[in-house]
Structure 1
């Protein structure tokens, strides 16, 4: 063997070792999550904490900035056709997946088609108008639509725009989420359910100069008090969803920093009105008058005060009252216990009973207890059933619930908070709500790009959906983060996700 070939072999052998050594010498970040994520497959995933992990693991075609503007990520440029029925993307060159495979137009085509056709996909509703994908050239791809689709760019800035390695996904099939292979700044190392998710710096990342961490470990800790204790003891560097009652003291502790971001999502209670036979098991699911009485029994401002220490904006829709697309024709109703009792009497059920499913996180537990106490004043007998978050999602998917405390982290376009939850047979329509006229209005709101016309359509949608109450919207939380003062570069983006690019962690 020639000396040149020997040197080449040695270089190839030492390159991965050098990358591993570099990852080990860089600081390691430990992040406390409020829940354990569900499956780490962008096509199938549906949890907020999963999106937190994905922000380090899987790059998207687009991202959003602090003002929710759409900004480039894997797609450098885009152009709409004259009739708004085709979107052409110019892709970023020099991008590789964690398995070394090249990212190109064929990979985008594969991913979009996977999102649309994979059994159990939670992205198909977000990409429903996309009829086909054309590979124009190796770095140019065109998405063809059945009609103009206003929310498409916003959808591509989230999981519908995440790109996984076609080679790895085809090989793993429905087991891909157990060992995901994407193109983000960090690659998957291991996952122990209910314990940890470990990611390591990907040395082949296209923007690796912005990555100053060698490893990230995500630890699910549902109890906010325990999460905070771990931060204070130095076992964690960053925690999300701090208990609002802890914020004041944290702000006085110079060892830590606190960040407050108003979410673009909502906190609500989803009611089974048609998802399964359980919709007919209680008056709450069968009778809209009982659901109206339930809403009238609740004091939203009181909920925000007691549950969130006023770290929330009360609301009754999928967007907050200060949002440009808030339907002003359906304002936030005030608590009216007497009217609630009258509605229950008219419905023939003065003391209805139902079970309220909730996750095991501290905020969800508090909300369930306060709702239980408030609704009791109107005659409701509510039993609380707690389940680990991923388990509760599976129960909701099967319709194995009567009412469910469920928050949605939100999307930049209102459609992302609405369509998948209220359009017939959509993957996130846990309530089982289905109305042909509402579907027509929802589809119309997606095809027009005129903001004034969309506002009118959202008002009509609100008038129908809020009357039936498949979801009783309560408030819009502040994302509350706390982290060591040694961590710099934290960006405040309203989707509540921690961007790892630019983060710097000083040595102890």
Structure 2
């Protein structure tokens, strides 16, 4: 603590204004604002210099929570305050990176969906809320009011809403969103070489639009996941005219619950309510309830927590790993916060590039697998709360995953076996670079350092390769790495978690893995409409993926800690990235 205060007094710090991206936008008193900003900078600096304990003492030791706390209204009465919806207000949240581009065709990543999830929509949507749960895929209407599936599971007919109007801004000029837009989007996702959602629609044979409000999708055969995909944000529908005008990459103009108002890189992006949005609640009230939401760009996790504790944001978007030491800081500094820890449906991955020559050898991949000790990761990084996982579909999926006893056998933590496999492959003391990006969070750095240690003990010569986020994304798409540690996205159907990531040539196969023995199993499971039989086919594919260490390893799943202020009502975490969809029925009780 003394070191922290000494650094705080150094003259050069007097000129620093930390979190300017927040303080430029939120009115605070000058003296308190400068003090709090400097204090957060100290904590951030300490973290970056590896002085975690001292940094946390600055954040959690009372200085921040006392000096920087925002005055709070009196607590609500027992029972959680008013149950009557209050329309209006701006929801504020922090996010770690700027949106890079805005056209979902290229890659529907989370930073993009903070914008596009508000301006666009899908044919269907999932029911959200605590009752439904974090991974709910229960479908309800959205752009389509009704839908039906042919008895053979090969034809899907959607009846669209009338009066879904685009924003009155060029080139859309208040036009109606119709079946021609849906047809255009589905064909574009299927045929465009940049499409990362191709796996969701590649079975589409043809699309008929007999009138502006009817879409008939004809598949090559039964395709079990399609309805679930129709409700997923990876198939956001962008107005055709916007794409054809060449504007969809940098502008988000549409018909969704929110409209893009303004944005400044490294500062804040603002979304405002669409007054012409087509949905209403069961009482006939206009949705969304909010007047809008603001996304503050705060790259550092410690600074994100500091902003929440100081009352500058209401809710997390890039939330904390359940193992993060900052979680204790959060609990001490914001005692009224609602905090929910949920088991990750995805899980962090260790991609093994098969563009990298050694990665093509099954013995090398199995040696990496044998070197890994998941229990050590779980004990050190998640305080024992994480669960063993496997590549593809982990325990959060229930009986879609393999039994727990079977999962455990794939990570035996056997360095001697790893050394022997490397020797058999003629790759003793194999140099391995592990690519990671600080944008994924400091937890990945700690994970990477432990992975380096485990690989070294098993006969590898590993090192961490720190890469800026945009560069890492480009290299990942080209599989230009040896190993790459990165967060695992959740996809709403098992197919998206195995076919999309392991099928030869698939759009999300970032390892460029290709195993001819696996592909028939992946194709089989997506054509089976009987759930029980489909689960058996999925299990067969999972066994081969993990026995042959194809594509990537996924040794454990941690929890994520979601947090928000008690006055944020009508909200519960969901796998959706886009806040536009997650906040349709969110309101502020203040």
TM over 0.5: yes
Aligned to 1:60: 122
Is 1:128 aligned to residue 206 of structure 2? no
After superposition, give the CA deviation of every residue in 1:234-283 in whole Å (9 maximum; x if it has no partner): 22222232243233453453342212233322211111113xxxx11xx3
Q: Out of 61, 71, 93, which is 2:162 matched to?
A: 93
TM-score, normalised by the number of residues in structure 2: 0.75
Structure 1 residues 131 and 297 mapped into 2: Cα distance closer, same or farther (>3 Å)?
A: same
Aligned to 2:293: 216
> 1:172-211 counterparts in 2 under 5 A?
172=246, 175-207=247-279, 209-211=286-288
SS of equivalent residue, structure 2 residue 412: coil
Q: Out of 309, 317, 333, which is 1:232 matched to?
A: 309
- Quote the offset at 1:122 in angstroms: 1.1
- Quote the offset at 1:37 in angstroms: 3.8
Aligned to 2:112: 50
Distance 2:314 2:464 in 1: 33
SS of equivalent residue, structure 1 residue 89: strand
SS of equivalent residue, structure 2 residue 583: coil
After superposition, give the CA deviation of every residue in 1:433-476 in whole Å (9 maximum; x if it has no partner): 11233222211111111123222322332233221432011222
Aligned to 2:584: 501
- Quote the offset at 1:182 in angstroms: 2.7
SS of equivalent residue, structure 1 residue 77: strand
Work out whether residues 36 and 389 of structure 1, in 8 Å CA contact, stay in contact via their aligned partners in 2: no
Gapped regions of structure 2 (runs ≥ 5): 1-86, 169-173, 281-285
Structure 1 residues 391 and 197 mapped into 2: Cα distance closer, same or farther (>3 Å)?
A: farther
- Quote the offset at 1:118 in angstroms: 2.6
Is 1:335 aligned to residue 413 of structure 2? yes
Work out whether residues 262 and 494 of structure 1, in 8 Å CA contact, stay in contact via their aligned partners in 2: no
- Quote the offset at 1:147 in angstroms: 1.1
SS of equivalent residue, structure 1 residue 382: strand
Aligned to 2:496: 416
- Quote the offset at 1:165 in angstroms: 1.5
Distance 1:144 1:421 in 2: 25
Distance 1:475 1:46 in 2: 25
TM-score, normalised by the number of residues in structure 1: 0.87
More moved, 241-250 vs 209-218: 241-250
Distance 1:418 1:363 in 2: 25
After superposition, give the CA deviation of every residue in 1:87-119 in whole Å (9 maximum; x if it has no partner): 001122322223422122222112112222234
Is 1:352 aligned to residue 414 of structure 2? no
Distance 1:405 1:44 in 2: 21
Structure 1 residues 471 and 242 mapped into 2: Cα distance closer, same or farther (>3 Å)?
A: same
Structure 1 residues 434 and 474 mapped into 2: Cα distance closer, same or farther (>3 Å)?
A: same
Is 1:395 aligned to residue 464 of structure 2? no
Aligned to 2:220: 146
Is 1:306 aligned to residue 375 of structure 2? no
Gapped regions of structure 1 (runs ≥ 5): 1-24
> Which consecutive segments of 4 or more residues in structure 1 shift more than 4 A?
494-498
- Quote the offset at 1:85 in angstroms: 1.1
More strand by share: 1
Distance 2:371 2:516 in 1: 30
- Quote the offset at 1:494 in angstroms: 4.3
RMSD: 2.3
After superposition, give the CA deviation of every residue in 1:383-420 in whole Å (9 maximum; x if it has no partner): 11222333311111123211111222211211111212
Aligned residues: 474
Distance 1:488 1:305 in 2: 35
SS of equivalent residue, structure 1 residue 68: coil
